[in-house]
Amino acid sequence: MRFDAALKGRSTDQTLTRGREPKGSLYPGGNIMIDLSTNYLGLKLKNPIVASASPLTEKLENFARLEEAGAAAIVMHSLMEEQIEAESENIDNALEFGANSYAEATSYLPDMQKYHIGPERYLELLHKGKQSVNIPVIASLNGRSPGGWVRYAELMEEAGADALELNIFDIPTDTALSADELETRYCNLVRAIRKSVRVPIAVKLGPYFTSFANFARKLAESGADGVVIFNRFYQPDFDLEEMEVTPNLVLSSPHELRLRLHWAAILYHQVECYIAITGGVHDASDVLKCMMAGAHVSMMTSALLKYGIEHIGVVLAGIETWMEEHEYVSIRQMRGSMSLVNIEEPTAFLRGNYLKTLGSYTWREGGAALTTF
């Protein structure tokens, strides 16, 4: 399913810059009916909050809880091709060890019923999770080989996924690999999966591309229905005592949202694909900013892990309160109002804002505020 033509033209959002509807002008009795609905990947959602991939979506009982709390869609945790390969290697090693043992020592052989080789557990959770809720369930895939990407994507579609999120978590370390070659590899991957499945495809990306806007356009042309910005590359730390590289998982903070807002505002109406923002979305104001930048949905993980699944309801209530106070009647009305193509001074997103930003900083010396630039 390709990008909705109704969302392509700038005329769709003329009300964004032409002013807002006056309170009570659309509904009898002066009551405003707030419309939080949106469209993402061709899926009609009741609001713009999507529960993104996290440990919460690894448990079946949480699917219904997320829906009840107000989530408009659920992105499952990623199926990692390396984990499947590791499980297969472990069972092979165990069987080989048992084969070299005494015949009567059957306890050396692994209990095959306890091993879950392949993606069966994930696909079963996807199937059951889809049956347990009335909201879209999006499967997340992190492949390793071209064949693995396509094979597991097909299995996810068969299991009932409403859409696929391709979680391309790849750190290029080969100095011989050029940026163009890397982008071509990604686009070829999207083309291959697009040929194999009919459900919508979103690509979850990191921000580290030479020309991100151009790359996003290439992905859309290759068959991606949407982009998810941005993947959080978990950066390791150094243990100086043990002299080891150690993992360091830190939940996102609201300040991380700025980079996402910046690029969503640039991509809006310049790239024909759906836009999802993930990373740094914690409260109602964050969701509203995402919509005004031009995103179709805001994805939440860290806030739900920190405050609980019920936090979705708090955020939704905050969104409605703000919209009533500022006389907005729908999410569609505000979407893209702060984007590059709609603001009066687009230099805010470009080089022209660089000196202004630097000049806005002040520091204190001896109690006096000094402008440094």
Cα torsion at 299, 142, 258, 330 (round to 10°)? -30
In-domain check, residue 84: yes
d(CA 47, CA 369) in angstroms, rounded, equals 44
Q: Is residue 362 part of a domain?
A: no
pLDDT for 8 equals: 40
What is the structure's pLDDT at 172? Answer: 81
Residue 138 lies in a domain: yes
pLDDT of residue 93: 40
Residue 243 included in any domain: yes
pLDDT at 344: 79
Tokens coding 276:
């999802």
* Residue range(s) defining the domain that contains residue 91: 5-342
For residues 132 and 60, what is the distance between their CA atoms, to the nearest angstrom? 8
How many angstroms separate the CA atoms of 279 and 275, rounded?
13
| CA geometry: angle 67, 314, 280, nearest 5 deg | 90
How many structural domains are present in the chain? 1
User: How many angstroms separate the CA atoms of 337 and 347, rounded?
Assistant: 15
| Residue 365 is assigned to a structural domain of this protein | no
Query: So what's the pLDDT on residue 17?
Result: 35
Q: What share of the chain is helix, strand, coil (3-state, %, to 5)?
A: 45, 15, 40
- Check residue 147 and give its pLDDT: 80
For the chain (length 373 residues), average pLDDT per consecutive 10?
42 37 46 90 98 94 98 94 52 41 44 51 96 98 82 96 90 88 94 97 93 96 97 80 82 89 95 96 98 98 96 98 96 95 77 59 56 46
Two tokens, residue 16: 């964004």
- Could you tell me if residue 353 is inside a domain? no
In a domain, 286, yes or no: yes
CATH of the domain at 37: 3.20.20.70
pLDDT of residue 245: 85
- pLDDT for the residue 82: 66
Q: What is the DSSP string of 310-344?
A: THHHHHHHHHHHHHHHTT--BHHHHTTTTSTTTSS
- Does 300 map to a domain? yes
The pTM (predicted TM-score) of the whole model is: 0.80
